[in-house]
Amino acid sequence: MNVQANQLITLTQDILLAWGMHAEDARITAELMVETDLRAIDSHGVSMLPMYEKMREQGILNMTPSRAIVRDTPVLALIDADRGLGHPIARDAMLLACDKARHSGIGAVGVRNSHHFGATGLYAEMAALRGMLGFVTSSTSVAGVLPTNGSDPLLGTNPIAFAAPAGRHAPFLLDMSTSTVAVNKVKVYALNDRELPGGWVVNSQGQTVRDPAQALALCHSQQGGGLTPLGGDTETGGHKGYGLSVMVQILSSALTGGSFSPVRNRQADGPVPHNIGHFFLAIDPAAFRKDGELEHDLDMVIDVLKGSRPVDADRPVQVAGDPERAARREREVSGIPMPETLLAQLRAIAGNAGVPYTLTGA
């Protein structure tokens, strides 16, 4: 069934309010989650609600956090998110980084003691829409990614996002995990009962796992086998993805005071807050060049790339951000496609929260 975005925002916001989230935080979170689905990043949108419900029931997710600025200078800040959901604090942190960059040329904000914040690219784009270069990294809660040559999953999907403003074109917007795919991408395949492509998930012997339910369980077990690093094995560049993942871990958590999942899990007696760390960087191009020069040059770069000859005429060359924008234009009209398995989960969550289930077909 296809569902219109406004219906999905209303239901998501109602659930978050029923869980006790402050009204403004609930609005921001619901809008960011559904924006993610509009862009066809189905792995990080409202399909996360079942996990959030479980985290809340376990007592590890604080729905009414008292966020606090731990350190603050003209160019940087460190914020403690008080175990809250990551969407509202991530938005605030990126906007704060932009404010600092506007005054000082560069702004960096770290966040610790947070939880999942959805699609990383949304926050980098916030900088680009304000004329800034934006760079965002985040650690993750599930250690489901194998280090190169390893059989034990030790790293998260540890995403990176980068955005830059253009002039005639939409911003360049790169949003990627440092694993071949995100765990939640495997979840989407499981929800739709679709066989996984080879090389996404391997067992402890390095053999490909194609059954999506088996692969998802293996990733969440965090015991043996898991997601491959970006690039797969060493012969195809997997050591590069492995290195990028460790870089993200350092920036997002080692620098801010967030946790490293294998250590956190080893020390925990039961469910504990994820203490995810995020890192946000904004750069004002006016600190380097005259107004509009970066945008002009980036337009030329994009013109050349998109004007290049494709291998297949039906698949023109694109730049990062184009597929998501195309999906958004389509889904704004036709609605967001949702499998019945996910709709059933949302129906149950709404019932548990005591709010009306109001989704209808587009």
Instruction: Tell me the C-alpha distance between 324 and 16, whole Å.
Output: 26
Q: Rg (Cα) of the chain, in Å, rounded?
A: 20
User: CB neighbours of 145 closer than 8 A, spacing ≥ 6?
Assistant: 153, 154, 155, 156, 157, 158, 178, 179, 226, 227, 228, 229, 245
pLDDT of residue 278: 98
Instruction: Tell me the C-alpha distance between 174 and 272, whole Å.
Output: 32
Find the mean pLDDT for residues 54-77.
97
pLDDT at 362 over 70: no
Find the mean pLDDT for residues 213-234.
88
Longest dimension (CA), the chain: 57
On whether the CB atoms of residues 20 and 65 are closer than 8 A, the answer is no
Task: Tell me what the pLDDT averaged over the chain comes to.
Answer: 94
Find the mean pLDDT for residues 207-231.
89
As assigned by CATH, the class of the 67-180+228-293 domain is alpha beta
pLDDT at 5 over 80: yes
pLDDT at 343 over 70: yes
Instruction: Tell me the C-alpha distance between 147 and 145, whole Å.
Output: 7
pLDDT of residue 221: 82
pLDDT tens for each residue of 140-187: 988 889 999 998 999 999 999 999 999 999 999 999 999 998 888 888
Query: Considering the entire predicted model, what is its pTM?
Result: 0.94
Specify the 3-state DSSP secondary structure of 278: strand
pLDDT of residue 188: 86
Instruction: Tell me the C-alpha distance between 136 and 248, whole Å.
Output: 9
- Please give the helix or strand (H or E) that residue 313 lies within, else none: none
Domain-wise residue ranges, the chain: 1-57+321-362, 67-180+228-293
Find the mean pLDDT for residues 326-338.
96
Find the mean pLDDT for residues 90-96.
98
pLDDT at 207 over 80: yes
Strands (E), 189-332: 201-202, 226-227, 276-283
Of all residues in the chain, the percent with pLDDT exceeding 90 is: 83
pLDDT at 81 over 90: yes
pLDDT at 28 over 70: yes
Find the mean pLDDT for residues 232-241.
90
**What fold, for 1-57+321-362?**
Hypothetical Oxidoreductase Yiak; Chain: A, domain 1 (1.10.1530)
pLDDT tens for each residue of 103-144: 999 999 999 999 999 999 999 999 999 999 999 999 998 888
